[in-house]
Amino acid sequence: MKLAIAIIAVFLLVAACILLIGHLLHPTRSGTTSRTILAPSQVVRDTILDAESQSEWRKSVKSVERTSEKTWIEATSDGDRIEFQILESTDTEISLGFKSKRGFTGRWDAQISKLDEGGTRLFIREQSATPNPIIRIVSRLFFNPTAFAEKYLEELAIEVENRMQNGE
């Protein structure tokens, strides 16, 4: 009986420590990166906003369902569903809001700069908030927002290059 009580007490202590750590972690994280893409800024911008095609060139996106002119839902290859909304879209900036079925929300911002040499400099900042303290811990362990943004830019550059070669 004492052993069972000791095991339960240790389990409760570990659970309390995990919750405390989760509450101490800041709920908001962000990642930033930039890249030069050797293509006109309009092609880069159009590729970013072509949500329906992203399942063809982004490995982490299984499918995309357009829900309105400014909204869509991405089904990811790991089973999440993320709702996106265009908050702002100009020739030099794109801002998206997003909300995941896994409980995080955020904002994705891109600054698009034309380069004199004919290419485009793209700066991306993704910020997400995770209110659940346990999910906060999991996201710190398994998700790096900067690495995610860098992977996105790598795949975007390849897709833009393909579009340029195909004359789109």
Give the three-state DSSP class for 21. helix
Domains identified in the chain, total number: 1
**What pLDDT digit, counting tens, does each position of 150-160 carry?**
999 999 999 99
What whole-number distance in Å separates Cα of residue 151 and Cα of residue 33?
A: 10
Q: Within 10 A of 105 (CB to CB), how many other CB atoms are there?
A: 16
What share of the chain in percent tops pLDDT 90? Answer: 67
Q: Which domain holds residue 64?
A: 2-165
| Arithmetic mean of pLDDT, 18-25 | 76
**Long-range Cβ contact pairs of 152-156 (< 8 A, separation 24 or more):** 152/58, 152/124, 153/33, 153/34, 153/35, 153/37, 153/122, 153/124, 154/35, 155/57, 155/58, 155/59, 156/37, 156/44, 156/47, 156/48, 156/57, 156/122
**Closest-CA residue to 84 (of 154, 111, 93, 69):** 69
8 Å CB contact between 140 and 25 = yes
8 Å CB contact between 125 and 142 = no
CATH number at residue 43: 3.30.530.20
The per-residue pLDDT for 139 is 82
Say which residues have a Cβ less than 8 Å from residue 39's Cβ, sequence separation at least 6.
Answer: 119, 120, 160, 161, 163, 164
**What pLDDT digit, counting tens, does each position of 32-77 carry?**
999 999 999 999 999 999 999 999 999 999 999 999 999 999 999 9
